[in-house]
Amino acid sequence: MGNTPIWPTWPVTSGEDELLGVVARSGRWDVNSRITGQLTKKMAKYIGMRHCVFFNSGTSALYAAIMTIRSSKSDEIITGSLTFEATGGAILLSGLTPVIVDHDIKTLTPDLAQIKKVITPRTKVIMSLPIYGMLPNTAGIIEIIEEANKEGLADIKLITDACQAVDARENKSIVGAEGEIVCGSFQQSKQLTGGTGGFAATNDDWTAKCLSDFHNHGRVGFPDDTGTNIHGVNLRPHPAALAIVLSQLEIVPGQTEARRRNMKILSDLLQDEKRIILPPLTNDCGPHIYVIRVVDANIKLAFLAELKNRGIPSISGGYPQLLSQNPNFAEGTICLCPNAEMIQASQIWLMHWLFLDPKGNPDQARVNMQYLAQAIREALDKVS
Ligand SMILES: Cc1ncc(COP(=O)(O)O)c(C=O)c1O
């Protein structure tokens, strides 16, 4: 193998056609397909939680999670500013008020001190955000919740938007598993993908039943309609998407291991580079994006262009808008978000599949990391 990079492409196939054929031939093309049952068992094992309900998107899973927990329309949900619009969109869809907080500059996830500050008797949910797959200190969030609930100030529950963090782990379970509900997305760019779809996982039997009823018009399996009495809508997934997820589950653990290893190699190669700030990788994080921040935000766009000139694929400059700067979501905002603004203004994204082993070859991945590190240094030299 030479010293030129071979960039991995995404998605990586894993025998999906066989399972898709099973769905097609079964004549059971709705959520009652056998595939749903098979994936439920495997997924619960993979994420280390007792129940897992599948949805037609991650947004739907978040919406159902909020609807399962909310008690009145005046409830508030605390979440971070630096995220995909869907986090805020699901909150608005449920009729609740988003209260947006700033992020911790080290972990990149919502700042615990800020969360604590904005809790009121109306707070119903803290929506934790392991954004980019980075770990948000769930134990610290639970401590804040327990303190508030103990004082009788509120009855707060924890939902984790793990749509970018399906392979991030805390105490061997998916990030946020110690809270009430963890939601994820199977959208095309995610580490575990079916093209579209999502899940909501919980360890609580009643919550699982509510989630399941809600995604199916509030029904509990026609004609025996006895259950939670929660209303609902149709948020059911197509079993073809679930079949793809089921095959992808076979290769995800190996991919996660490769990503973590190769991201660490890149970080080690760039350790002495003072013009950029590297992502806060940890052993158990689930890297969706390798986020680099330029110390001088003024050079961001030129730096991005120079990286593209050097043939680096799958890179971008991040989100177009923070939730705290978006008039659709910012009504409930009671603080400015200078850290999120700083991250937003300075970030460059390298997507997770750049860090896979091309054709399963770790030596080629090392070559890729060396090329990336050199391209980053050269691009910085050019624009600094
Ligand atoms: C943080 C976050 N939340 C929610 C979503 C919504 O997921 P979906 O696109 O499956 O609705 C996404 C991504 O797509 C996301 O990145």
Which tokens sit at 56? Answer: 């037609």
pLDDT in tens, 205-221: 999 999 999 999 988 75
What confidence category does residue 59 fall into, taking pLDDT thresholds of 50, 70 and 90? very high
- Kindly give the distance from the C-alpha atom of residue 383 to the centroid of ligand 1, in angstroms, as a whole number: 33
- What does DSSP say about strands 289-294 and 181-185: parallel, antiparallel, or unpaired? unpaired
Query: For 124-162, b where at least 16 C-beta lie within 10 A, e where not — what string?
Result: bbbbbbbbbbbbbbbeebbebbeebeeeeebebbbbbbb
Answer yes or no: is pLDDT of 52 > 80: yes
What confidence category does residue 154 fall into, taking pLDDT thresholds of 50, 70 and 90? confident
Which residues does residue 316 pair with via DSSP β-bridges, in sequence order?
A: 349
Instruction: Give Cα separations from 250 to 36, 53, 243, 356, 382 (angstroms).
Output: 16, 19, 12, 15, 43
Residue 1: the pLDDT is: 42
For residues 220 and 206, give the distance between their C-alpha atoms in angstroms, rounded to a whole number.
13
Pocket of ligand 1 (CB under 6 A): 57-59, 83-84, 86-87, 161, 163-164, 185, 187, 198
CB 361: neighbour CB atoms within 10 A? 13
Residue 31: the pLDDT is: 85
pLDDT in tens, 73-117: 889 999 999 999 999 999 999 999 999 999 999 999 999 999 999
- Kindly give the distance from the C-alpha atom of residue 58 to the centroid of ligand 1, in angstroms, as a whole number: 5
- Kindly give the distance from the C-alpha atom of residue 59 to the centroid of ligand 1, in angstroms, as a whole number: 6
Q: Do 14 and 253 form a contact (C-beta atoms < 8 A)?
A: no
Amino acid making up residue 322: L
Which tokens sit at 173? Answer: 């379970």
pLDDT in tens, 264-296: 999 999 999 999 999 999 999 999 999 999 999
CA-129 nearest atom, ligand 1: 1
Domains of the chain, with CATH numbers? 16-248 (3.40.640.10), 253-383 (3.90.1150.10)
Answer yes or no: is pLDDT of 17 > 60: yes
CA-189 nearest atom, ligand 1: 14
What string of DSSP letters covers 227-260? S------B-PPPHHHHHHHHHHTTTHHHHHHHHH
Residue 70: the pLDDT is: 87
- Kindly give the distance from the C-alpha atom of residue 86 to the centroid of ligand 1, in angstroms, as a whole number: 6
**Global confidence as pTM:** 0.96
Average pLDDT on 116-126 reads: 95
CB 308: neighbour CB atoms within 10 A? 14
Q: What's the chain's average pLDDT?
A: 94
DSSP annotation of 15:
S
Nearest residue (CA) to ligand 1, atom 7: 58
